[in-house]
Amino acid sequence: ERHFAGDGPLTGKHILVTAGPTHEPIDPVRYIANRSSGKQGYAIAGALAELGARVTLVSGPVALATPPGVTRIDVETAREMADAVDRALPADAAVMVAAVADWYVEAAAQKLKKGEGAPPLALHTNPDILATLAKSPTRPRLLVGFAAETERVVEHATAKRVRKGADWIVANDVSGDVMGGDANTVHLVTADGVEDWEPLPKDAVARRLAERIAAALG
């Protein structure tokens, strides 16, 4: 393991990472969520810190330890994640790994009872944290998004890069057994084209991405 005591390639840089799912409460005991262990995002936060960056990790609910040297802010909902990201700015780079729930519902104050029938859940669209950051006056110099796709992985990710205003999209092929596992097949989509990375353990994806970020920030 490499440890930089204040003299790594990312020393002096502040990098924001989002990770994990968000939970959107339905009532005090139920929620809507995306499937995400948080492992890839936590590995990236740790790898960036190892290269000397000051890392702020805005995390949804996960069962993971905070990587050494990382400042962690816990949130539950997408709206809380958006606020925490806002408060953590400015940053030199942001890596949005979180699997943000696309919708929320107005949560009931009391537990819904099934005897009263299936509740009609009115879904509202959550803020798009990445797209908002891309348009913000405090946009980080390097903005990296993730895209978990089950089909036409690179095609969807390439469109997403442009639509959301990200510099890079790490396209993650989740058609296999990735969720919660330790390996990942990713493609790095940039303005220059697409790089196919061989299947790698999540911590190796993290280290390679951290090194690419260090090179890009100079």
Measured from the CB atom, is 39 or 160 closer to ligand CTP? Answer: 160
Measured from the CB atom, is 47 or 100 closer to ligand CTP? Answer: 100
Distance CA 27, CA 17 (A): 28
Distance CA 136, CA 192 (A): 24
Rule CB under 5 A: say whether 102 interacts with Ca ion: yes
Position among 128, 182, 201, 211 found at the interface with ligand CTP (CB under 6 A) = 128
- Is 111 assigned to a binding site? yes
Rule CB under 6 A: say whether 100 interacts with ligand CTP: yes
Position among 98, 178, 189, 214 found at the interface with ligand CTP (CB under 6 A) = 98
Q: How far is the CB of 207 from ligand CTP (least distance, A)?
A: 19
Q: Please report the DSSP string for 32-66 in residue order.
A: EE----SHHHHHHHHHHHHTT-EEEEEE-S-S-PP
Rule CB under 6 A: say whether 57 interacts with ligand CTP: no
177-183: which pairs have CB atoms within 8 A and are 24 or more residues apart? 178/148, 179/35, 179/36, 179/37, 180/35, 180/37, 180/39, 182/39
Measured from the CB atom, is 27 or 128 closer to Ca ion? Answer: 128
Query: Can you read off the two tokens belonging to residue 20?
Result: 């994990």
Check if the beta carbon of residue 157 is closer than 8 Å to that of residue 171: yes
- Identify the helix (H) or strand (E) that includes residue 211: helix 202-217
Query: Can you read off the two tokens belonging to residue 106?
Result: 């107005």
Rule CB under 6 A: say whether 80 interacts with ligand CTP: no
Has 34 been annotated as catalytic? yes
Position among 27, 74, 80, 102 found at the interface with ligand CTP (CB under 6 A) = 102
| CA-closest candidate to residue 38, choices 66, 10, 15, 12 | 66
First to last CA, the chain: 22
- Is 129 assigned to a binding site? yes
Check if the beta carbon of residue 42 is closer than 8 Å to that of residue 64: yes
Stretch that binds Ca ion, among 11-19, 54-62, 102-110, 153-161 (CB under 5 A): 102-110
Rule CB under 6 A: say whether 126 interacts with ligand CTP: yes
Measured from the CB atom, is 100 or 206 closer to ligand CTP? Answer: 100
Residues making up the annotated binding site are 102, 111, 127-130, 146, 160, 164
Binding residues for CTP: 102, 111, 127-130, 146, 160, 164
Positions marked catalytic: 34
Question: Which residues form the interface with ligand CTP (CB under 6 A)?
Answer: 18, 78, 96, 98, 100, 102, 126, 128-130, 145-148, 160
